Structures are given as structure tokens and as C-alpha cells.
Amino acid sequence: MKQEVRVIISGGGTGGHIFPAISIANAIKAKRPEAKILFVGAEGRMEMQRVPDAGYEIKGLPICGFDRKNLFKNISVLYKIWKSQRLAKRIIKDFKPMVAVGVGGYASGPTLNKCAAMGIPCLIQEQNSYAGVTNKLLAKKAEKICVAYEGMEQFFPADKIILTGNPVRESVLNTKESREESIKAFGLDPNKKTILFVGGSLGARTINESILQHLDLIEKGEVQVIWQTGKYYSETIAKALKATGKEYPMLKVQDFISDMGRAYDAADLVISRSGASSISEFCLIGKPVILVPSPNVAEDHQTKNTMALVNKDAALYVKDADAPDILLALAIKTVKDSDKLKSLSENILKLGLKDSASIIADEVIKLATNKQ
């Protein structure tokens, strides 16, 4: 009988960190059903809800990022880091992991630092084409570094790097509905071209403004739109649409789309931010996309993710500042151009790396059993 594998997975903050982490956990359980997996996240962040929803236990650390605008506030941040390190050490001693996995985000720093100091082998997974600060700091202590893009030797020791791609949500890859069924599920017409606007689970103000300021183009454009506004913006947008005094049957507005696989199936073209997980999903399903990278992320890594595709004619790019003026018109023009959609789909499909979660899970189990 195989000995029980015990794994800590740490990180989060955004869906781009959380979904890969859950996919890795699921792959480990598929290979070693007896495995015990504990997540460590940051208190008050998305992972504290999403991880239990996926069926895993999670412990929270009181960690947060530095405030670059108000340096005085960082006194409390330093205290939270110290407190998080002490709490991480206690969690590790109680759980006794054989291996630790860091997926980026605040919590992975203290957790993996303590694991490495206690002789527990560590693996980090970097989703972006430009490495995050936490992962760059952890790289020296990690045994393996799983990446999604070529050329990551500029950030990490080459002998530790494994090109695996990013794990993505199984629900996106394993949809069973046809395009027609998916479109009808949204109450739309299968005979019309469909554009999906999505700004991540929290929404994207610029993408939302791009639609709200040009509703006349949707009315005239003979296309239909699925619009995920994000929970932060849903109430404001609902009021703005009501204030027009018009009905928009070609516009399906939701604050959050739980079945993103169905939404992707329904869409002929997707408008999205350039988070690493989203890009990996587009590559694996071959979905034509216009990317609008967020300017509000560390090291502008979303623009770097975008250009990795644009340079291979695998996506279109609109700068965030330009989006309110040109994005919707470009989207309508592109979705009506069948040749362009076909070309984008073929080129992005070439960039997909399959079975990422399974490959990473193999490396995690290997480190655990070697330690044993």
C-alpha cells in the first residue's frame, strides 16, 4: 500500500492563481486518492471561499501587500508578515507536509519560506510570461519551477525549470454542449455572431465602459453580446441600462458567469483581460480573442502575456486607455470576418500546452516520495 502523500498548496488572491492551484490539487487526488492536501491562503481574499467550494480545507494568513502610495501604512504590513510567518510555521508543524506548492500571491511567500527552512521540498508554479515578485524571491529555495512560457531563464535557474503550461479549469475543457445549445442557454439566436465580454471574476471597468459608451453600435451591428460585468460594477451598469429607457434583447448581462465553458462555447469571439489562466484556456480551446491587458498589475505582466500571443498572430491587442473609444467597433468588425476568426483560432491553438495539471502533479508526487 502506498504511503499517504501530504501536500501544502499556497497562494491565491485572484482566480488566475486559485484555479490552477485547484486543478493541481485535483490532479494529485486523481493519481493518489489517499493524498492529504491543505491550502494556505490570505485572509479576506478569494481563495478563502473558492477553495472550500472545490472541496478542500484552507487555512488563512493575515498577510497583505505593501502599500506603495502610503509608506506609513507599511508598518502594519510588516507586522502582518511577521505574524503570518509564525502562523505558517505552526500550520506546517501541525500538518506535516511532504512537499509544498506555491502558485503565487501573498500567502505563498511565508508558507514556502518556512517549508524550505524546515527541509520540506518546494515547487513553484509561475503562470505569467513575466515572473511575479514572490516567485522570483522563492526561486532559489525551490526544487522545481513549472512555467507556461519559453524564455523564463531570465528569471529562474535554468536547471530547475520545467515547461508545463498552466493548469486550467476542467469545466472549460470538458463541455458537452454544442455551440447552438450554449447560445440558446443564454437566450440568444444561434444564427447570429456572438461576442463574449469578460473582465475576470471581479470585472474590468474599461471593458465595461467600452460597451456602455457605445450601445448604439450593438443595436446597429447585427451581433449579440454576452457581458460579464463583474460584481463590483453590476449595480451601476444595471442602473445605466435602465436609464436609457430601451430594451436590449441582443445583450445578455450577468455579474458573474459560473459556467465559463458554456460561455466560451457560445462565443465566436472573446474580449478579455490578459490573465495567464484565461490565456491558457483560450490556447487550449482555440478561441479567437481580443486582449485588453490590465495596466494595474505588477510589472505590467498582462501586457507581456498579450505580446507573447500577438507576436505570433494568435490574438489582437487593444491598449486599456484606447479601449473605450475603439474596442467595441473592432470587436464587431472582427467577429464578422470569418477568415480572421479562423486564422486567430488556428494560431492560438498551436500555443496550447496540454495536461499541465497532470504533469505538475507528477512532479509534486515525485518530490514528496523522494523526500519520504
pLDDT per residue of the chain (372 residues) written in tens, 0 to 9:
577 899 999 988 777 788 899 999 999 999 999 999 999 999 988 899 999 999 999 999 998 776 666 666 777 778 888 899 999 999 999 999 999 999 988 889 999 999 999 999 999 999 888 888 888 989 999 999 999 988 899 999 999 999 999 998 877 887 778 899 999 999 999 999 999 999 766 668 899 999 999 999 988 878 999 999 988 888 999 999 999 898 889 999 999 888 899 999 999 999 999 988 899 999 999 999 999 999 887 778 899 999 999 999 999 999 999 999 999 999 999 999 999 999 999 999 999 998 999 999 999 999 999 865
Identify the pLDDT of residue 67: 64
SS3 content of the chain, % helix, strand, coil (to 5): 50, 15, 35
Please give the DSSP secondary-structure letter assigned to residue 68.
Answer: S
Ranges of H-type helices in 9-102: 15-31, 47-53, 74-95
CA distance 62 to 288: 40
Stated pTM of the model? 0.84
